[in-house]
Amino acid sequence: MGTSPFGATIIHFATAKRKMREQLSKEQRQERRWTCRKRMYTQVVECDDSELIGATTSCVAVNASANGFRIKGDLYMPENTLLDMWVDTSSGLGKYLLTSNVRWSRPTADGKFEMGVSLQDDAATDIDAWRKYST
């Protein structure tokens, strides 16, 4: 870091880029994730955008864990959107109804959206069976 002739702080691009990489490389997950390309269905239960409530869409699970998914789909869902999700495993062990909360959402190069969702503990879902299956 330096100072410009006008007294403003100068942050060197390389230093800023390195710091960004360091922040992104810090792993925040506590559990194992695995890559998958399974089709799943989501329905918006609660959302700040009332026009999205009730919307049902098909998504693809990019990766999964006992406590969350990274999904990709056509519909943008803002942070804190509550979703019901139907997950069908390739092993034929069953279908799981799960409730999740969108933690982050971003556009992809192909015009779709990726979202990180965390699974919610809810007695009316298959969360316990999902966690047993996924560990």
Nearest CA-CA partner of 104 in 70, 58, 59: 70
Looking at residue 19, its pLDDT comes to: 46
Looking at residue 37, its pLDDT comes to: 77
Give the other-Cβ count within 10 Å of 78's Cβ: 13
pTM of the model: 0.73
Looking at residue 73, its pLDDT comes to: 96
Looking at residue 26, its pLDDT comes to: 44
Looking at residue 92, its pLDDT comes to: 60
Sign of torsion over alpha carbons 101, 104, 106, 108: negative
Over the chain (135 residues), the average pLDDT of each successive run of 10 is 46 45 47 76 96 95 92 95 89 81 96 96 90 83
Enumerate domains of the chain plus CATH numbers. Answer: 34-134 (2.40.10.220)
Task: Record the tokens describing residue 121, joined without a space.
Answer: 């503990």
